[in-house]
Structure 1
Amino acid sequence: MIDPFVESLIRAIYDCVVDPSGWEEVLRRIVTKTNAVSASMQTTFDAKPSNIARWNVDPFYSKIYLEHFYTVNPFIPLRMNYMAEKVYSGDSLTTTASYRESSFFNEFAKPQEWEGFNGISLNGPGSADVLALMHNRNADFAQTGGEDLLSRLAPHVCRAYDLGGLLAKAHQTTDFLGQAIAAAGFGTVLLSENCRIIYANQVAEDMLRQQSGLVFIRGELLAEASPLTSQLQALVRACVDQKAATYPLGTILKLTRRKIDQPILVHVLPLREKTAAMLTNKVRPVAALFLIDPHQDLSARLQSFANAYALTSVEIAIMSEIIQSDSLTIIAAKLGMAASTLRTHLGRLMAKTGASNRLALLRRFFEMASLAMP
């Protein structure tokens, strides 16, 4: 049975997709639970760091970190090698003599009583994006359950971070979802607790008119396949009451469509009352659905994805097949290669893209594709 604190925190994490100001409260709760000193969530754009959120970090030190200490941060090279969702410890570095003698420790970390560092890698190899916890020598991070908590939160933090970034890049704002999703490159639907549609953007409306994978009946959103309708309804109910959930938050639905092999991918995210009130003064939505149709402009999207990650022609071919099939045996046969060879290429493909598994690889592809193409 899921711990009530963890359940509540996971829901708060997904709220941050549409209300990123909530990350500060998420950090506060993690710091309090683990007896840490401070926490920060950082991203990098054009080789320049910026804070997504921070908790109990002196603004003076935050400023000089961005201006100077980021460039001498000894943890950056380590983080650049981690896969997304990796929970790491800085113990191997903080106990060395070179670190204890460094300006980073003596002029930045030590004055803030930061003796230890733990965190979650947010974006895979080549990226230093991180959710970091800082604690002092008096706090036993493992004893407080900090490592276990970060491990349980890591996939949810990374997924919320990815989707929040998708909205931010596409629309230059995540403060008001109603503005952002109106012109999104993917379908977005806001649902009430009983799956009644409160809002749908143009892409989602087109999908509903075609009744391909999803149908709109008497104001209610349904999947064409009854079992998938039940799963969709269960996920929406989970947005209201996780204890009654049949499927965990973060589940990605694949909605099959008649005469089309590729399914619609559906992310179901919960909305809290504060966020719902920002979106509409009608019936309050409890869930946001993000719908991605992989059938549209696939070749161009594949090339854009390949360019972004410097994929080889073989890796592009494998990526194309992964989108169409979840069977490595079938993919290997279609490409005329041994299963072991396919796994080797797939491992390189995941390493380049920072995906920890095939599902994460697909998610990364579709999210990037929805930005790259209209």
Structure 2
Amino acid sequence: MAGISQDLAARGTHGLMEIVGAIYDTVLDRGIWPDVLKKVSLFIPGAASAVFWEDAASNQGDVYFYDDGISPRYRQLYFSKYVGLNPITIPRFFAQVDEPIATADLVPYEEFLQTSFYREWAEPQGLVDFVSITLEKTARKAAMFGVFRHARHGIVDETARRRMRLLAPHIQRAVLISKVVDFKRDEAEMFAQTLDGLRAAVILVDAGGRIVHANAAAQALLSRGDVIHSVSGALGASSRQAGERLRGIFLGAAKGDNAIGKDGIALPLMAKTGERYVAHALPLTSRARQQAGRKHGAVAAIFIHKARLEAPSPPEAIAEAFGLTMAELRVLFAIVEVGGVPQVAEVLGIAASTVKTHLGRLYEKTGAARQVDLVKLVAGFSSSLVT
């Protein structure tokens, strides 16, 4: 494995382009995600990587795609028990989208090593760190891409962060488009025909932005003309800024997968009625996707769908409402999950006196008088914000 990792690193830009191309191919065939993520794990490098979601309020989560680097036993154990005990679950909800976040960015590393999560789940596997990027946040959960670091890799360094930044926009785009449309393997070979049966608006464009194919949903949007429109056969947007960004996306897609970068991951569009839409751009310039767009000479597929108005997640809403620090928020959710002061101290790897100090501040800031009141407070925020 180390030899392959060094080979990928040595190949530099070519190795990166190969991985990025494979990431976009997952849109047409989700079954290749495990192999793609194995390449990602070697590139960062790390012991395992996954695209997953977590709900910090309910302490639930699951994996969308993974590379089998974590054994089934530990994967099941994480989501059945340790997702709520992981000290970085709550702080991760406050992480900036697109920016790599390592364990030490969220909690003191020495404190992390004292937690039951590390001692009982991470350490037995030889895992020492985790670096992740938030792909999407909603009121209910956050979708993330993350890589586990083994002792042989060491804690997350700047090289790992830089490589995460290189891959993140492409993974984000592929995942978001996969949410909009689910191609079957045989349908991917009939790409244009398949587009016509999709509920989302999909438009194929060439390098100049000329519309070469539009499905029924896209034709309906074009006929309305208040979100997108056609000018002399070229795709445009209702706002000048969005139109300029679209043109940049078309030009970037023509130059290859890596050139498109962050543009078009989630381009906001607004109708004259105030309705909000989101556009995602998928390059069609390599591998299976090149075959898909070849018939029309298309360089990109633009997926457009209505956007939902999302409320902040319960942890974010609670922190803002009561002015809680990250440490206080961790103690609050630990009390909800595991109970009394001694148990919380054990789980978080801090002294019982420290827990009591945070607890006193929680009572003062929230107006609660007992731990049960804090549990009710969290439950109230969670139920009112679930969509």
Taking structure 1 as the reference length, the TM-score comes to 0.58
Match of 2:229 in 1: 214
- Aligned 1:1-374 pairs, distance under 5 A: 3-44=13-54, 48-55=60-67, 56-91=69-104, 93=107, 95-96=109-110, 99-100=113-114, 102=116, 104-124=117-137, 127-140=141-154, 145-165=159-179, 167=180, 173=182, 175=184, 182=196, 186-191=200-205, 199-209=213-223, 213-215=228-230, 221-223=234-236, 235-236=249-250, 238-242=252-256, 248=261, 250-251=263-264, 266-271=279-284, 272-275=286-289, 286-291=299-304, 305=309
Partners in 2 of 1:201 and 1:243 — Cα distance? Answer: 23
Q: C-alpha separation between the residues in 2 aligned to 1:132 and 1:282?
A: 37
Call closer, same or farther: CA 1:39–1:253 in 2, change over 3 Å. closer
Contact preservation (8 Å) 2:209, 2:247: yes
Q: Supply the distance in 1 between the matched residues of 2:110 and 2:313 (Cα, whole angstroms).
A: 35
Letter in 2 for 1:305: L
Local SS of the residue matching 1:239: helix
Q: Is the 8 A contact 2:102 2:156 kept in 1?
A: no
AA at the equivalent of 1:43: W
Question: Structure 1 residues 101 and 9, CA, compared in 2 at 3 Å: closer, same or farther?
Answer: same
1:352 paired residue number = none
Aligned residues: 291
**CA, structure 1 residues 142+74, in 2 after alignment: closer, same or farther (shift >3 Å)?**
closer
CA RMSD of aligned residues (A): 4.7
Q: Which has the higher contact order (CA 8 A, sep 6+)?
A: 2
State the 1:241 CA deviation: 3.1
- The 1:70/1:216 distance shift into structure 2, 3 A limit, reads same
Rounded to whole Å, the distance in 1 between the matches of 2:51 and 2:253 is 25
Deviation at 1:43, TM superposition (A): 1.4
| Cα distance between partner residues in 2 of 1:94 and 1:22 | 37
Instruction: Say if 1:188 and 1:200, in contact at 8 Å, map to a contact too.
Output: yes
Cα distance, 1:152 vs. partner? Answer: 3.4
Deviations 1:37-61 (A, max 9, x none): 1112211477632211122222222
CA 203–256 in structure 1, closer or farther in 2 if over 3 Å, else same: same
Is there any run of 5+ residues in structure 1 with no aligned partner, and where? 294-300, 313-371
Q: Which whole-Å CA distance do the structure 2 matches of 1:191 and 1:105 have between them? A: 49
Q: Deviations over 1:225-281 (max 9, x none)?
A: 999999756644543533995x64624778999x9999986432114543566x699
What residue in structure 2 maps to residue 368 of structure 1?
A: none
Cα deviation, residue 155, structure 1: 4.0
Using the alignment, how far apart are the partners of 1:63 and 1:86 within structure 2? Answer: 27
The Cα shift of 1:146 comes to 0.5
C-alpha distance in 2 between matches for 1:57 and 1:209: 50
Whether contact under 8 Å (1:193, 1:237) holds in the other structure is yes
Letter in 2 for 1:53: F
Query: Any idea what SS the aligned residue of 2:41 has?
Result: helix
3-state secondary structure, aligned to 2:113: helix
- Equivalent residues of 2:138, 2:312 under 8 A apart: no
Q: Please give the alpha-carbon distance, in whole angstroms, between the structure 2 residues aligned to 1:265 and 1:244.
A: 21
- Please tell me the residue identity of whatever aligns with 1:49: G
**Counterpart amino acid of residue 150 in structure 1:** M
Is this contact kept in 2: 1:250–1:267, CA < 8 A? no
